[in-house]
Amino acid sequence: MKKGLTETVTGKKLYGEKRKATENKCHFQLSRSASIQATVVTFEQLEGMYTFFALRSIEIAGEFVSYRYPGIVTFIFTAYTVYLKSPMITSDKLKKIKLTEELIRKLPKVLLHDHLDGGLRPNTIIELSQQHNPSLPENDPEKLARWFHEGANRGNLTEYLKGFSYTIGVMQTEHALHRVAYEMMEDMKKDGVVYVETRFSPLYHTKSGLSYDQIVESVLRGLKDGARTFNVKFGLVICAMRNLPPSSSLEMAKLAVRFREQGVVGFDLAGDELGYPPKDHFDAFHHIQRNNFYITIHSGEAFGKESIWQALQFCGTHRIGHGMHLKDDIMTENNEIIEMGYLSRYVRDRRIPLEVCLSSNVHTGAMPNLRYHPFPIFYKNGFRVTLNTDNRLMSNTTLTKEFLIAARSYKLTVKDIEKLTLNAMKSAFTHFPERLRIIYDVLKPGYAQIMKNELDKLDNAHRQKHSEHQKI
Ligand SMILES: [Zn+2]
């Protein structure tokens, strides 16, 4: 006869208010005649390391019934059962998991700030250019990729934006827009991204006579086909451009709202910040606000904290694109905060998400190098930070690479990557039930499983080493 925990039925999710809870039915055989059947509910803390538990029902059979202190037995039993199901992983143990590129790629990730026209495959640009736009600076995929990267990496946003004339140049037909969107979804799948919000401005795709509606429909078709084939969820963000007239921004805002039932999830203001404050585009933001829709604004990237303040308090943004200059509102010493202004307190206290893009910030010259980047200050002091790619082609990056860079530069563990990913999913513009579903059905079980596998591998390696040592 097998003693101990013989059966557990786990994973039944409890819905509604208790969505974070999991019900575990356990059978515990104490001896031939004594057994315990119990239902234990575990409550997971969203960002913490601990699992709380509660006993929902318990049936004790056999000699145990006469036990004089059932309360104590119940407690010990419950603790033991939950311990078996959810071994506590300490941060010391997690530090031993080596964050390689291969491991980070396997982790389920969420990407909120990625430009569709900044992530084309070099080969696709070459093929599409043969049909639409014959002149490219290079016709070999590798050389072309290098050309984009070297052009972007000049420490200047205006230079950085030049490469877009070629990517946008080939995205002028329904076929090209569909293809670029579909391939982006495939690239996300390969990179381990489970939910992506991609963005672009239809304003630049009318050269062959497409209407704004046709442009958005083509991209959405590509994203939907990609979602079906690669099982990646998506949301599309429509960008207005700060350097174009405010009337065009209002048109983009109306377009975004019109397609909200087809996969558009929000509205963004992009482009060079210097000399183009977001408040010039009031009408567009007010249209979004009056329609109860969602806003993110590139701000605090190439211009100071005033740009962030305007985006928040004049334009009603829900997220901040980049936001590094929020650091101007924080006084620090050795990465510890000494004093904060009211703006940075507001951003932290209201949980305003920051869409940080490390490589892009260095390439555009917004930051001289990663040592000066305020990411660790924001992250370690409770800001809602997310990590993003911005432009994968121009910055020669992927979300995996961005996490690898962050892990190496700021000593992150796998638990930090999980937290940044949960931050991103909580900040996504998709509906709340969808966010919860991805967090509790995909992200949390995904990280738990991968962490367990990695720790098992470490234990096995340790055991093997120990036994070899004994043989000697
Ligand atoms: Zn951007």
- Distance, in Å, from the CA atom of 305 to the CA atom of 312, rounded to the nearest integer, reads 11
What ranges do the domains of the chain cover?
4-88, 101-445
Q: Which residues are catalytic?
A: 301
- Distance, in Å, from the CA atom of 225 to the CA atom of 457, rounded to the nearest integer, reads 38
> Above pLDDT 70, what percent of the chain?
81
pLDDT above 70 (res 49):
no
Residue recorded with tokens 């930090």: 416
Ligand 1 centre and the CA of 453: distance in Å? 35
State the average pLDDT over residues 173-191.
98
> What pLDDT digit, counting tens, does each position of 215-273 carry?
999 999 999 999 999 999 999 999 999 999 999 999 999 999 999 999 999 999 998 76
What is the CATH T-level fold of the domain 101-445, as seen in this structure? TIM Barrel (3.20.20)
Complete DSSP assignment for 396-451: T--HHHHHHHHHHHHT--HHHHHHHHHHHHHH-SS-HHHHHHIIIIIIHHHHHHHH
- Distance, in Å, from the CA atom of 127 to the CA atom of 131, rounded to the nearest integer, reads 7
Among the listed residues 91, 108, 102, the one whose alpha carbon sits nearest the alpha carbon of residue 455: 91
Give ion ligand 1 contacts, CB < 5 A: 390
Ligand 1 centre and the CA of 217: distance in Å? 22
> What pLDDT digit, counting tens, does each position of 371-414 carry?
889 999 999 999 999 999 999 999 999 999 999 999 999 999 99
> What pLDDT digit, counting tens, does each position of 14-37 carry?
444 434 566 666 676 767 777 777
Length reported for the chain? 472
Q: Which helix (H) or strand (E) holds 140?
A: none
- Distance, in Å, from the CA atom of 365 to the CA atom of 368, rounded to the nearest integer, reads 6
> What pLDDT digit, counting tens, does each position of 344-375 carry?
999 999 999 999 999 999 988 878 889 889 99
Question: How much is the pTM?
Answer: 0.81
Phi, psi dihedral angles at 249 (to 5 degrees): -65, -40
Ligand 1 centre and the CA of 266: distance in Å? 14
- Do 268 and 298 touch, CB atoms closer than 8 A? yes
| Ranges 3-17, 285-299, 367-381: which has the least confidence | 3-17
Ligand 1 centre and the CA of 388: distance in Å? 9
- Distance, in Å, from the CA atom of 110 to the CA atom of 89, rounded to the nearest integer, reads 23
Ligand 1 centre and the CA of 165: distance in Å? 16
- Distance, in Å, from the CA atom of 243 to the CA atom of 310, rounded to the nearest integer, reads 16
- Do 428 and 197 touch, CB atoms closer than 8 A? yes
Among the listed residues 355, 349, 382, the one whose alpha carbon sits nearest the alpha carbon of residue 300: 355
Ligand 1 centre and the CA of 455: distance in Å? 37
